[in-house]
Amino acid sequence: MQKQEYTITVYTENQVGLLNRIAIIFSRRKINIESLNTSPSEVDSVHRFTIVINEFEEVVRKLCRQIEKQVDVLKAYYNTNDEIVWQELAMYKVPTEVIQEEVKVERLLSQHGAKAVVIRKDYTVFEVSGHREETDKLIEVLEPYGLIEFVRSGRVAIIKKSDGFHNKLKEFEYREPGEHAVENEFLDKNQEVFSM
């Protein structure tokens, strides 16, 4: 068994300090986070963390259990790259004069699906979305032409075999209270009787 890339998806309430508490779980175990993205989810007031790490499956399973113990965390899943659809966004800043003078560069950019975001006299910014290998390849292509700056976003991912977390939340909402909840309700009523 060897380490492989896993994407951890964490659904949370939007609370201050939660990102720090989750990051501490990784740092205590000396696990490097390759990519981190946070965003709202399809459910109002529920946020989604997408975390990419390189680790053994058993370690990832334990991490998810530990993350789920956090008060504001609703659920944590982990998946291999085959089990998700994912993309990253990359932006590249290059000198505008090179783009104007070198027809070859323009052709290379169109081959890689790059789209101009900003065009100024001194520089042009392009964006590309795709997998890491694709965005890295364009760095190599642009470096000889004077790549000024490069930045890549964290991974965004959707689990292939998933009905969506909002369906699971609805299941929790409509589920009948368990025996434990009924017992507590009964105790509360008895306490009210005795306190009168």
CATH number of the structural domain spanning residue 56: 3.30.70.260
The H-or-E segment that residue 48 falls in is strand 46-55
Q: Is residue 70 a part of any domain in this protein?
A: yes
pLDDT tens, 63-80?
999 999 998 999 999 999
- Give Cα separations from 173 to 12, 119, 169 (angstroms): 16, 50, 6
* pLDDT score at 45: 84
Q: Is residue 52 a part of any domain in this protein?
A: yes
- Give Cα separations from 115 to 91, 127, 165 (angstroms): 10, 5, 33
Q: Is residue 24 a part of any domain in this protein?
A: yes
Residue 47: domain span: 4-83
Q: Which two tokens stand for residue 76?
A: 């944590």
> Domain tally for the chain?
1
Buried b (16+ CB within 10 A) or exposed e, 103-137: eebeeebeebebeeeeeeeebbbbbbebebeebee
Q: Is the pLDDT of residue 183 over 80?
A: no
pLDDT tens, 83-140?
999 999 999 999 999 888 877 788 888 888 999 899 999 999 999 999 999 999 999 9
Q: Is residue 95 a part of any domain in this protein?
A: no
